[in-house]
């Protein structure tokens, strides 16, 4: 059994952040998996009145990913952020 009393879970599943696990009002907003060579997403909508709020969340995610990638690769963080931004904008177009 895991922290929430559920059996199972996937062996490659990430752990719930401690602050989220300790907050009874906390909830998961989205999950992204790579399986069978493709991305698979689960999302929970309805939290925001303004769709722009998702832009803030995606920007925060990009910052976290830039930190991790910069630490792992040794590339300058600002260059990593710019690369993520350029590819993101290209993918939206």
Percentage of the chain with pLDDT > 90? Answer: 80
Residue 35 has what pLDDT?
96
Per-residue confidence (pLDDT) for residue 45, from 0 to 100: 82
pLDDT tens digit sequence for 27-54: 999 999 999 999 999 998 888 999 999 9
Task: Return the pLDDT at 6.
Answer: 53
Residue 20 CB partners (closer than 8 Å, separation 6+): 26, 28
CA distance 74 to 69: 8
Is 18-92 CATH 3.30.230.10?
no
Q: What is the pLDDT of residue 2?
A: 52
**Which single residue is written with the structure tokens 């722009």?**
52
Contact 87, 66 (CB under 8 A): no
Q: Please, what is the average pLDDT of the chain?
A: 91
């Amino acid at each position: 059994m895991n922290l929430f009393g559920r059996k199972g879970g996937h062996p490659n599943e990430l752990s719930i952040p401690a602050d989220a696990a300790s907050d009874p009002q906390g909830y998961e907003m989205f999950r992204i998996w790579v399986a069978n060579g493709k991305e698979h997403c689960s999302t929970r909508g309805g939290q925001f009145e303004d769709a722009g709020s998702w832009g803030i969340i995606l920007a925060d995610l990009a910052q976290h990913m830039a930190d991790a990638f910069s630490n792992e690769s040794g590339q300058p963080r600002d260059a990593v952020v710019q690369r993520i931004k350029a590819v993101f904008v290209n993918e939206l177009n």
